């Protein structure tokens, strides 16, 4: 595996997210004069992270209506996954297939021993075996790099920040006196405007960083960066034709997928995926260097 500067960036972004939680918590405690709320928030936040981490595979698989496949049902797919896992000297994940026609794939599972790789029927029909192998390398590296933990923490903390901000709106004002009310008002306005926006941007930045790293590590694992570049190009075009239907259950795990499942949304500010042209250019450059 490569040692990426992106991992240091991810750690810094997560630290900044937690610092934001502490800042908003301090504002709430100061304005309400109820320090107990900090402990309540902390407990709810830890529960959210733990629940998301332990159940990420079940939630995503259920949302995509995916079903497990056996070696007898998909011998070529199993052979490909096992070969790449052996090259990485890591456990072999379970394999699921989703009946979705939109071409995509994602990895989940709380650790390498509980890993899952899920392919949509759309991606199985679209890509060549060589391209599918490269995509599988990308997804395996999400598991082996423990990106599921990182994304679960980022999503939970971002959601927690929004919850704290909403709590402040409902209960944060009016309990203090004099200067305390001024601090509560100013802090509340800043929290309402900036915190959810900043949390969403940081969560998206973390996800984009992990995608770049999985591209590089996955291309190294498969030994075929050009095949991954070709697969990403096909996926972008395929998703543009058949995007995933937008609803809350799909929004919650869209960041797990190798390509933004909603097509044009990939270019939005809060996109959890880097620009596809940039990813493809990096992979082609990687191929030239090797």
pLDDT 10s digits, 210-238: 899 999 999 999 999 999 999 999 999 99
Candidates 34, 131, 139, 246; catalytic one? 139
pLDDT 10s digits, 176-193: 444 455 655 666 666 666
**Measured distance CA(232)–CA(135) in Å, rounded:** 8
CA distances from 196 to 64, 87, 152, 161 (A): 27, 42, 17, 7
- The mean of the pLDDT values for the chain is 81
131 has catalytic annotation:
no
Residue 133 corresponds to which tokens in the numbers above? 């192998």
pLDDT 10s digits, 97-109: 999 999 999 999 8
Q: What is the CA angle 215-217-221, rounded to 5?
A: 115
Task: Using alpha carbons, select from 210, 70, 224, 69 the residue that is nearest to residue 133.
Answer: 224
Is the confidence at residue 126, as pLDDT, over 90?
yes
Task: Using alpha carbons, select from 10, 102, 113, 101 the residue that is nearest to residue 57.
Answer: 113
Residue 54, φ and ψ in degrees, nearest 5:
-75, -20
Is the confidence at residue 266, as pLDDT, over 50?
no
Residue 270 corresponds to which tokens in the numbers above? 């809060």
Q: Name which residue leads in pLDDT, 114 or 169.
A: 114
Please name the residue that has the structure tokens 């991954």: 228
Instruction: Using the CB atoms, write b or e for 194-216: b if 16+ within 10 Å.
Output: ebbeebbebbbbbbbbbbbbbbb
pTM of the model: 0.79
């Amino acid at each position: 595996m490569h040692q990426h500067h992106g991992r240091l960036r991810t750690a810094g972004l997560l630290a900044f997210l937690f610092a934001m939680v502490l800042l908003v918590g301090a504002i709430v405690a100061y304005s309400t004069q109820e320090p107990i709320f900090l402990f309540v928030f902390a407990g709810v936040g830890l529960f959210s992270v733990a629940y998301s981490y332990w159940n990420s595979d079940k939630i995503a698989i259920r949302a995509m209506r995916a079903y497990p496949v056996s070696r007898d049902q998909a011998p070529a797919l199993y052979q490909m996954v096992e070969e790449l896992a052996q090259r990485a000297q890591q456990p072999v994940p379970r394999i699921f297939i989703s009946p979705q026609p939109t071409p995509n794939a994602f990895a989940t599972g709380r650790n390498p021993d509980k890993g899952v790789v899920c392919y949509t029927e759309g991606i199985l029909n679209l890509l060549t075996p060589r391209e599918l192998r490269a995509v599988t390398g990308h997804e395996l590296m999400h598991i082996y790099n423990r990106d599921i933990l990182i994304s679960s923490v980022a999503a939970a903390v971002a959601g927690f920040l929004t919850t704290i901000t909403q709590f402040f709106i409902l209960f944060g004002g009016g309990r203090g006196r004099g200067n305390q009310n001024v601090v509560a008002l100013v802090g509340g306005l800043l929290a309402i405007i900036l915190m959810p926006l900043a949390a969403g941007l940081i969560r998206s930045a973390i996800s984009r960083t992990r995608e770049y790293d999985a591209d590089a590590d996955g291309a190294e694992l498969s030994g075929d960066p050009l095949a991954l570049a070709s697969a990403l190009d096909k996926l972008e075009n395929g998703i543009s034709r058949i995007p995933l239907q937008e609803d809350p259950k799909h929004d919650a795990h869209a960041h797990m997928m190798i390509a933004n499942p909603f097509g044009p949304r990939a270019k939005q500010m809060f996109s959890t995926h880097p620009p596809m042209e940039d990813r493809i250019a990096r992979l082609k450059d990687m191929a030239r260097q090797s």
